[in-house]
Amino acid sequence: MFWSSPAPWTTAEIPPQQGRTVIVTGANSGLGLETARALVHAGARVVLAVRDTAKGDAVATELGGAASVHHLDLADLTSVRSFAAGIEGSVDVLVNNAGLMAIPQGRTADGFETQFGVNFLGHFALTGLLADRITDRVVTLSSQMHRIGRIDLDDPNVERRRYERWAAYGQSKLACLMFAYELEHRFVAAGSRLRSMAAHPGYSATNLHSRTESVQDAVMGVLIRRFAQSGAAGALPALYAATVPDLPGGSYIGPDGFREMRGSPRPVGSTAASHDRRVQRALWERAEELTKVSFPL
């Protein structure tokens, strides 16, 4: 008997989502748009949480009445609080998808280093403010670049050290992954039925690669055309994490191909640093201190 690998997991395997509500941050382009599109096609009601509502409205028009647009600027905690206050009723799934990658040094409205503030702290605050209305799970997007990340608890916002855009991105995505793991630990400790998942898209063609405002934009453009998988394929790990019914909490989902750059979604591993319980707890406490958001667990 010849062994054969399992059939690739595609959007056709998404269970029916009728009656379910999903919030997707950054849903007006890239992975977020592909995630929202697949969920609406499967029957879900999707809240498009976007900074540019004009682009969000165009997406909602394409997706039909199952999609609604709400303004959310993750670089401004006032906006995060306003968004959360405007969500009525329960939410089955929150997909923390939006993000920035390798941008020049900047600050959010609250003074946070922009990548750490948007990718991690904004989503941390959003999750905490919605936690009492989430009924199923939280999915947080990380990256293979978490492997180069190092959490500097004394200077997370790069105020006393030299800014390096890729190091800052790596820290933010390691923080996202550690947040997903720590959130699951806290769900379990509280006896909650909620689950926390993480996912990464592999090497996917999105507009993140054209926002470094440097020569790297052109270089990455060439690499993407030659090696990257499509945005629709890159969204599959997040969709898997958001919809597979019996997926254990704490799962990290990524592509199954060479170096997890492309392929069908499956549970994957992460660095030893990402599983450091002491740093997970300390990072959580630092995030609560910076955002002034505590979770009702």
Residues 6 or more apart whose Cβ sits within 8 Å of residue 86 = 70
Q: Is 135 helix (H, G, I), strand (E, B) or coil?
A: strand
Beta bridge partners of 48: 24, 69
Report in angstroms the alpha-carbon separations of 211 from 28, 165, 297: 16, 12, 37
CB atoms within 10 A of CB 107: 14
Annotated catalytic residue, options 169, 181, 203, 240: 169
Q: Is 31 helix (H, G, I), strand (E, B) or coil?
A: helix
169 labelled catalytic? yes
Beta bridge partners of 113: 107
Q: Reading across the β-sheet that carries 91-96, which strands appear in turn?
A: 67-71, 45-50, 21-25, 91-96, 134-141, 195-199, 252-255, 265-267
Which residue is associated with the tokens 């800014």?
163
Active site residues: 169
